[in-house]
Every structure is written in C-alpha cells, then in structure tokens.
Amino acid sequence: MDQIHSASLVGDAIGAISRHIRERDLMPGDKLPSEALLSKELNVSRTVVREAFRSLAAMRIIELATGKRATVAQIDHGAMSLMIEHGVHTDQINIHQIYDVRRTIETRIVTLAAIRRTDEEAAEILRLAAQMKASLGDPAALMEYDLAFHTALAQASRNPVYSLLIGSFQGITRQTWPMGWKTRPTQAARDLMVQTHIDIARAVAASDPLKAVELMTLHFDESVRALLTAGMS
C-alpha cells in the first residue's frame, strides 16, 4: 500500500501519511498533523504535502477543511461514483455490464435486508416505495425515490460494502435512468415497475427473503428488457 506511489516525492508523502494513519490506528474524525509539520518531518516542501493531501482527499481517505487540520474520513462512494462514470463515458464499461453487477449484488442485498432489517428500516423502505407511486407524474422525483429505495435496502443489509457499491452506481444511474423510463411508454409498464418496488418492500417487511429475491430478479429482468428496447446494445 505504500510503495505503489513511490518514485516521486508526492508518492512517498502519500505513503508516509497512509502509514501514519495505520500505525497510529487513527479513526475517522481524528486529526492529522498540519501541512507545515509534515513538510518538516518528511523534508519536503509544503507543496508536496498539499498534493499528497489532495490525492488522499480525492479517494476520501482524509477530509480537508480550510483553517482546520485534515482529518481521517469515513468511507464514501463519491470517488467510486466518479470512477465508474469515467469508465462509462470512455466506453470502457457499458450499461448492461453495470446492470449485471447491480442485479447480482441487489439480489443478495434484498436477501440480507429481508433477514436483517429493523422495523424502522422496513418502514422507511415501504415509505420510499409509496413515494415512488405518488410520484408517477414526476419522473425526476420518482427517480430520486427509486435511488433512495435501493440505497435503503443496501443500508438494511448491514454490510457497508454493499452500500458503498450501490452508491458507486448511483452517479451513472442518474444519467441513464431517464432512458429506461422513456422506454416504458405505457401506463401499465410504468405501474408495473412501481408496483414491483412496493412488492419488494412488502416482502422485506414480511421478512420473506425468497419472495424478495424473486421480485428483485423480476425487476431487473424487466429493466434490462427496457434497456434493450431502447436500443442500447
């Protein structure tokens, strides 16, 4: 984890700072040394330390704030989201591949959610599904409730890695969701899509993992079909 970046002063500084965090077992929120102090300890200019900080901040490993010292950060999907978007924009990843991964992890998520969800989480998931139905006339709002629904399921799975991954796909999903919506031109198709979410929420609330998985699979089958209809090869 350290020498990956070496061969440049900034790379060395990134390694040194990472090591500092690990060796002292710093936890999210803990403060790092000031730029001035680090530049003195590492025998490099403040410029180098700053660029190292920026790099770590880009990966959301640390957090920067003006006036305050840098702190250790909580994991966050922002960086991953940008990386995925970049991959799609540069034709290194296509939407179908994203959907295959989402289907794979979301069927697992919904199983775990059905087993582990608290009553509060179940209520929230039901509420978001209901909000989707109430937003049938407002695609933008509907999309946001849709995203929040899947995020809530990931949360209920009690595995932060799933939350991270679902979050990572959110950025690109925001850009492609409207396409999928347009290919469901009939009211029936749109109602079905929303109803499936409601049914998934009910299955999770009823702690019925098998039913939940079945419905989630149905949802993704339908979504992929919609994308194909849209002519996305």
Which residues of the shown chain bind a second copy in the complex (CB under 8 A)? Answer: 1, 4, 8, 10, 18, 21-22, 25-28, 47, 50-51, 54-61, 66, 72, 74-75, 78-80, 82-87, 89-93, 97-98, 100-101, 104-105, 108, 112, 159-162, 164-165, 171
Does 65 sit near DNA (CB under 7 A)? yes
Task: Pick between residue 113 and residue 128 the one whose CB is nearest to a second copy.
Answer: 113
Task: Pick between residue 35 and residue 146 the one whose CB is nearest to DNA.
Answer: 35
DSSP string for 126-180: HHHHHHHHHTTT-HHHHHHHHHHHHHHHHHHTT-HHHHHHHHHHHHHHHHHHHHH
CA torsion sign, 55 to 167 to 24 to 69?
positive
Least Cβ distance, residue 120 to DNA (angstroms): 32
Least Cβ distance, residue 103 to a second copy (angstroms): 9
Within 10 A of 185 (CB to CB), how many other CB atoms are there?
Answer: 10
Does 35 sit near DNA (CB under 7 A)? yes
Cβ–Cβ under 8 Å, residues 203 and 211: yes
Does 8 sit near DNA (CB under 7 A)? yes
Does 46 sit near DNA (CB under 7 A)? yes
**Using CB under 7 A, which of the segments 61-69, 84-92, 191-199, 207-215 binds DNA?**
61-69
63 phi/psi in degrees, rounded to 5: -130, 135
Does 130 sit near DNA (CB under 7 A)? no
Cβ–Cβ under 8 Å, residues 224 and 96: yes
Does 97 sit near DNA (CB under 7 A)? no
Cβ–Cβ under 8 Å, residues 178 and 105: no
